[in-house]
Structure 1
Amino acid sequence: MITLRGEVDHDDAPTFQQAWDAADRAMLPTTAVDLSQLVFGDSLLLSALLKAKHRHEADGRDLILVGPLQPAVHRLLDISGTIEYFTIADTGPAPNS
């Protein structure tokens, strides 16, 4: 599982890429990305999630986003029109609800 907390932006790109690389090397049937504690993500997050989804599909693996999604993260996926592209396992109400 990849767990993201706080904010993810372009300053976090090297660390974020290391986590994706480790998940890709593991080649598990499913990769879960816990976004429940992520309060902000920019285009780096969106791009990384879309690329990971594409890689997983190409390899016959599943990518699951674990929520509940914080409002800013939900908005990023919703406004970009990509929210329906992902499988989101909502674990309950958002902490800030």
Structure 2
Amino acid sequence: MQWESRATVKVTCHDRVFEITVRGEVDYEENDLLQAAWDEAEETALPVTVVDLSQVTFADSGLLNALLDSWRRHRSAGRELILLGPFHPTVERLFSLTGTLEHFTVTDSRARAMRADDI
């Protein structure tokens, strides 16, 4: 059986910020990729995690659940989680239909996300 992911997940450590960049179509098949990124963010425990969703063209409840779980863990540890957009219309719709966007700090500026104290 041949399997190819329709998404990529890249992690980068900056001075105070752990950045997770997600691209493509994210559904249940990419849970392992996302879990590895979340685990690394938890391990490094930098004060801020930025999740760049600006290149995500599709997302389902799996991504949303992972984001909400990470938000809860960050909040309980006194760390900040920031979502970076702008969001593709299908991702915006997922947040809109579920009413969950209000839980997150969101910015469309990568520069501002990297300087989390400005948000």
C-alpha separation between the residues in 1 aligned to 2:109 and 2:88? 12
Partner of 1:48: 66
C-alpha separation between the residues in 2 aligned to 1:4 and 1:28? 19
SS of match in other structure, 2:76: helix
Following superposition of structure 1 onto structure 2, how do residues 76-91 of structure 1 map, counting pairs within 5 Å?
A: 76-91=94-109
C-alpha separation between the residues in 1 aligned to 2:101 and 2:40? 25
Partner of 1:5: 23
Give yes or no for the alignment of 1:60 onto 2:45: no
C-alpha separation between the residues in 2 aligned to 1:84 and 1:90? 15
Residue 78 of structure 1 and its aligned partner are, at CA, apart by: 1.0
- The one-letter code sitting in structure 2 at the alignment partner of 1:24 is E
SS of match in other structure, 1:31: strand
C-alpha separation between the residues in 2 aligned to 1:6 and 1:56? 25
C-alpha separation between the residues in 2 aligned to 1:15 and 1:46? 14
Question: Which structure is larger by alpha-carbon Rg, 1 or 2?
Answer: 2
Partner of 2:113: none
SS of match in other structure, 2:65: helix
Partner of 2:46: 28
Unaligned 5+ runs, structure 2:
1-18, 111-119
Unaligned 5+ runs, structure 1:
93-97
- Runs of 4+ aligned structure 1 residues displaced above 2 Å come to none
- Length-normalised TM-score, structure 1: 0.91
